[in-house]
Structure 1
Amino acid sequence: MGQTLSEPVVEKGSKRVHEFLFGNVLGGSVPAHQASENGGDDRLIYGVSSMQGWRISMEDAHATVLDLQPVAEDSKEPKPAGTESRLSFFGVYDGHGGDKVALFAGENIHPIIAKQDAFKKGDLEQALKDGFLATDRAILSDPRYEEEVSGCTASVAIVSATKIFVGNAGDSRSVLGVKGRAKPLSFDHKPQNEGEKARITAAGGFVDFGRVNGNLALSRAIGDFEFKKSAELAPEQQIVTAFPDVTVHNISSDDEFLVVACDGIWDCQSSQAVVEFVRRGIAAKQELSKICENMMDNCLASNSETGGVGCDNMTIIIVGLLGAEFRGPGVHHNFDDSDSGYDVDVDSKSKAFGGNKRGRIILLGDGTEVLTDSDDTEMFDRGEEDRDLASQVSKGQAVDSTTTPEKLDDASVKYKGVADTESSVKKEEEKGAESKSK
């Protein structure tokens, strides 16, 4: 557990966001002070926020880039890209031992990936792998980082019109919401994992109390060069490696949103719980950045004596996929007054993510009103309360979700846990009726 403050810093922000709404991939600087942020185009919308919490310093960084097209070699101006061919980038970097490597990653990983030969050839899976390792080399070759001992996780997603490419090193995580169910697009790299432990020991390291050499609580990271000193070993064979696992997901109309977040969120909530929380926020017509803020507040520990859970820095990005056939009330991304320069059909796109429906109102435990069709029998999921999708991501395996399942009624809203809430309300009403009769 890291050092903590006497009171948490709960101010939300995105000052470590590197946002280039118009494809300014290789230029610009990180804004000094900004509030939580929303953005998007006619394919997707996103919200992002971060919070220092109980930690004595903020060591997270993140990046949101709507247009990740390579810059022309003979020009400083980015090549124009229509939204159909546009590639968007979202990344979360959880620092440890300081914030320098995380800040470097937040500003440099996406342009480094865009410079890779594989990226220019359209091989985004290989570009992510090459880009992560190239980022390590860039830090090592920079004299400003000669004595740097910090490191960071990296969980990043490149979103095209038809696919999501997720590269992950460390224990930050990317999760897809599919019709209300959590589908992992990454898996955590922990030293006690069998494959990770085998690499660590083969490179001359050891795992003690779930930590690499009794020190580091994750087994892959950008930086952390004290664990990468074996000259005879390839970068991906080192005790700790920056080499990412890459998952490729084929987007379907069932895919509603992507969540990329650091372990400050995932240590407090399961993937399924986060997906349900986001869906409730969308049902309440909250901006995605507001849902991010509410999630962090929900995870924040009431005191610093919880053993670290709820005391960490927190960063979360939610990416809404506007092609989704979302079975719920509308999500309004408030582009009505936007002068972003994009010609966005707001009404049609927000309806694609969920339009206002008529029906009965169910009040959830957190105050969210959910509109449903009065005779909707498909609304409730009576499975386990906190179960992720059965199909888990395996190492190096592409995830294909192009199969379209049976369509639900347009007005249906499939929120897990609502059935339990409705049942508990009925029980309270019955108790009240019994007491009155007595």
Structure 2
Amino acid sequence: MGQLLSHPLTEKTIEYNDYRDHIGTTYLSHKCPRFFNCVGSMQGYRLTQEDAHMVINEDDTLRIQFYNPFADRREHYLVSVFAVFDGHGGDDCSLFLAGGNGNGYDPQRGIAKWVTRSFETHSYGDAARHKIGSVLQGDAKATRVFASLEGLIAQIMRDAFLKQDAELYRHFANTPCGSTCVLAAVVNGETLYVANCGDSRCVLSSKGNAVKTMSFDHKPQHIGELLRINDNGGSVSLGRVGGVLALSRALGDFQFKRGVDYSQQHASNSHQSQQLWHKRSIPPQEAQVTAEPDVLMHKIDYKRDEFIVLACDGIWDVYSNRQVVKLIKYHLALGAKLDQIVPKLLDHGIAQANSSTGVGFDNMTAMIVVLNKQGETLSDWYTKMKIRLERERGLS
């Protein structure tokens, strides 16, 4: 994405969030979950850097008032958010999604804002206790019911992406920019939800060399994506939508969403409004390039789960899921810290650049998020991982 340069730009930006106070001792917060993390980005062979990222964690953790229809009460949720955005056609969309304000990340901007609002304003119900149209949250109507809380929250994450896309339309309707998004949300320090739109990716590393895929790439040639594109009058050539876009889901890219009427997205959920929607336009989920993400859920087991990796396709073009995890664990076993490992991941990636295939020529951004249990210091986690990895390799 972007234009090619004749030489690599290997200068890296590393953000190491080890959450230390001004004295230098590890800050342990018992008020909210805290997950140590490190993110690195490198422009590489591209003319511009179009990637962005977001870390909403520790003191910035989203504090959400959520109505739980399964318990029929309002609950207080703490949500940590980690995301990587791979922009194209410029960095306007990716930076907008990241919600940066020049002094870090603002939870009231970007996609974090819509995650909060979608949690707090949903009108979904419990399939076992309610029917469509039953009264929930005062006078609100249940527009849809779910069999589990996990399924309901997954839909809330989808809602957040579509609402964010509607906001993007107001700013970038006539701009040929767009962005992928892979977002990991840890709810109450217990459950991991990964929402992915595009070809960025998230993987989970667990004890015993286990690697779990937490997202799936959205490519135009995949049969489900191809059918949606064709049904909306589009075509795929050379593996690209309209011969242009190499992915089939993204935020922005409104030239591929001509049939969507964004003015209707916040209309009433009444039956009459739904009929008007279908008469006037197509749902955003059915556009050639949709912003609707896939959402996967994982119940965190702190005895086994170790870390997650979020990265743009510039990383995954070079590495397989297992290779990324293996490289990180190899250096952890040697005693390396996250801010030493991430640069190695980026350097090794650009070293694989192949001018014949184009692999290794993209912007590269990778984020490692430690799944440390509450009260566990980063030093404790490093020690635990080193001992575990030495045992797995028969070195102790």
Q: Per the shorter chain, which TM-score range?
A: 0.7 to 0.9
**In 2, Cα distance between equivalents of 1:176 and 1:303:** 26
1:372-383 equivalence runs, <5 A:
372=390, 379=393
Give how far 1:371 is off.
7.4
**In 2, Cα distance between equivalents of 1:354 and 1:310:** 33
1:288-345: CA deviation from partner (whole Å, max 9, x where unpaired)? 232111101010046672432111100111011113xxxxxxxxxxxxxxxxxxx956
Asked if residue 104 in structure 1 is aligned to residue 96 in structure 2, the reply is yes
Give how far 1:111 is off.
1.6
Q: Which amino acid aligns with 2:55?
A: T
Question: 1:219 pairs with 232, 248, 261, which one?
Answer: 248
Determine the structure 1 residue equivalent to 2:210: 181
**In 1, Cα distance between equivalents of 2:210 and 2:196:** 21
Question: 2:368 pairs with 318, 328, 334, which one?
Answer: 318
**In 1, Cα distance between equivalents of 2:389 and 2:362:** 35
Unaligned runs of 5+ in 1: 14-34, 73-83, 324-342, 359-369, 381-410, 413-438
1:42-57 equivalence runs, <5 A:
43-57=34-48
Secondary structure at 2:193 match in 1: strand
Question: 2:337 pairs with 287, 300, 325, which one?
Answer: 287
Give how far 1:58 is off.
0.3
**In 1, Cα distance between equivalents of 2:217 and 2:376:** 38
Give how far 1:85 is off.
5.6
Determine the structure 2 residue equivalent to 1:68: 61
Determine the structure 1 residue equivalent to 2:82: 90
Structure 1 ranges of 4+ moved more than 6 A: 119-122
**In 2, Cα distance between equivalents of 1:352 and 1:166:** 23
**In 2, Cα distance between equivalents of 1:172 and 1:210:** 17
Higher helix share: 2
Unaligned runs of 5+ in 2: 20-27, 66-75, 100-109, 124-148, 261-280
Question: 1:37 pairs with 13, 16, 23, which one?
Answer: 16
Secondary structure at 2:78 match in 1: coil
Give how far 1:117 is off.
4.2
1:296-307 equivalence runs, <5 A:
296-301=346-351, 305-307=355-357
**Residues 176 and 183, structure 1, Cα contact 8 Å, conserved in 2:** yes
Secondary structure at 1:305 match in 2: coil
TM-score by length of 1: 0.66
**Residues 167 and 245, structure 1, Cα contact 8 Å, conserved in 2:** yes
Secondary structure at 1:300 match in 2: helix
Give how far 1:106 is off.
1.1
Give how far 1:38 is off.
2.2
Q: Which amino acid aligns with 2:18?
A: G
Higher strand share: 2
1:356-435 equivalence runs, <5 A:
372=390, 379=393
Q: How many residues align?
A: 312
Q: Which amino acid aligns with 2:4?
A: T
Question: 1:276 pairs with 295, 304, 326, which one?
Answer: 326
**Residues 159 and 165, structure 1, Cα contact 8 Å, conserved in 2:** yes
**In 2, Cα distance between equivalents of 1:249 and 1:99:** 31
Q: Which amino acid aligns with 1:274?
A: V
Give how far 1:146 is off.
4.2
Q: Which amino acid aligns with 1:140?
A: Y
Asked if residue 236 in structure 1 is aligned to residue 270 in structure 2, the reply is no
Secondary structure at 2:329 match in 1: helix
Give how far 1:273 is off.
0.3
**Structure 2 CA distance for partners of 1:117 and 1:250, relative to 1, 3 Å:** closer
Give how far 1:254 is off.
1.3
TM-score by length of 2: 0.72
Q: Which amino acid aligns with 1:242?
A: A
1:396-429: CA deviation from partner (whole Å, max 9, x where unpaired)? xxxxxxxxxxxxxxx86xxxxxxxxxxxxxxxxx
Q: Which amino acid aligns with 1:235?
A: P
1:41-72: CA deviation from partner (whole Å, max 9, x where unpaired)? 66521111101011000000100110432479
**Residues 299 and 310, structure 1, Cα contact 8 Å, conserved in 2:** yes
Q: Please report the RMSD computed on the Cα atoms of aligned residues, expressed in angstroms.
A: 2.7
Determine the structure 2 residue equivalent to 1:153: 180
